[in-house]
Amino acid sequence: MAEPELSLAPESSTELDTGVLAGVDEAGLGPILGPLVVAGVALEGPRGSDPWDLLKRHVCRQRFEKGKVQVADSKKVHSGRHSLQRLERTVLAFWGALHGEIPDTVGSFLALCNTDLPHLERCPWYSDMSLGLPLANNREELELSAHMLQRDMGYHGIQLHDLAIRPVDVEEFNASIADTDNKSDTHFHAYSDVIGRVLRIMPGGAHLVADRCGGRVHYAPGLRRHLKRWQVRTVKETSHCSTYEVHRGDHTVRISFTARGEDRSFSTALASCAAKYVRELMMAMLNRWFQARVPGLKRTAGYYVDGKRFLVDIADLLESEGFPVERLVRSR
């Protein structure tokens, strides 16, 4: 039997009763090149409502519909001939609905996400964040989509509170692996950073749904380690969903790590798209930097087979510049 979708109300509880549902997801855990990106979204609306249903005039879900933005697992949105265009339309339309405008550059976009730009800019291919946005859409059309979405959200009492982005570049990723000797811990550390940020703006009674981190079932030790100011109580732990209540004073928020979270929760699906879009932006900067130095170089998405091909193609450049490969290639 299929698991139920999560509405803007938490699972049955007499204590948790607000209409705030947050979501956290990641993109780029598997590649050997480029960042891991974790994103978080906090959304508020009428309690018990389904944002996919309320916003269906301008939002589609399972299949792309022309003139709408698609909110779904990023693998579904970022597919086909117009994959980047559709993914960008989703993320920047909601971004415009939140902030009232579409960012001009990658740098301005990431800065508003509270990203640590000086850390990223130490890496040569991220040192110039002037790559213009949007990449694959018409700005005026995006602004219109954002305006219509903002108006429809207002009509239905839906408010987007936050869209948090946490990129983990290869240098930081490898340093964490060296420190923990555990890829899962590195992954969860970035997850926890975003969860902590979203928790700070969520009211008591809210529900945060994170896509499951691999096959992990037990999250309480990691939550206690990373959310030091919060008390953590285990509600349930199963092979499909692990749920916890975190407390600070009289402030209680429920956190669920669930399989296929982006299929069940609107906020988690939007976070999935945001994480994937930021990874695409950062890979675009990486490709642009190397293509400017290696004529005829074919771009890469950073996954194992093509990532290895890319490394062979840039080997002479890396050798001539003496560039430390651990800043470019993941150790795991």
For 271-315, write each residue's pLDDT tens digit: 999 999 999 999 999 999 999 999 999 999 999 999 999 999 999
Residues 165, 113: contact at Cβ < 8 Å? Answer: yes
User: According to the model, what pLDDT value does residue 6 have?
Assistant: 63
User: According to the model, what pLDDT value does residue 3 have?
Assistant: 56
- Read off the pLDDT band of 8 (50, 70, 90): low
Q: Please choose, from the candidates 17, 62, 323, the residue with its C-alpha nearest in 3D space to the C-alpha of residue 7.
A: 17
As a whole number of angstroms, the distance between CA 199 and CA 197 comes to 5
User: According to the model, what pLDDT value does residue 12 have?
Assistant: 37
User: According to the model, what pLDDT value does residue 116 have?
Assistant: 84
CATH class belonging to 20-327: alpha beta
Torsion sign (Cα): 12, 13, 17, 22: negative
Residue 119 has pLDDT above 90, yes or no: no
Q: Please choose, from the candidates 125, 168, 115, the residue with its C-alpha nearest in 3D space to the C-alpha of residue 285.
A: 125
The domain segmentation of the chain, as residue ranges, is: 20-327
% of the chain with per-residue pLDDT over 90: 79
Give CA angle at 163 (29, 330), nearest 5°: 20
As a whole number of angstroms, the distance between CA 289 and CA 300 comes to 12
User: According to the model, what pLDDT value does residue 137 have?
Assistant: 97
State residue 2 phi and psi, 5-degree precision.
-70, 145
The DSSP code for 126 is G
For the question of whether the overall pTM of this predicted structure is more than 0.85, the answer is yes
Segment 311-322 shows an average pLDDT of 94
Residues 188, 213: contact at Cβ < 8 Å? Answer: yes
Q: Which residue has the tokens 């949105």?
A: 77
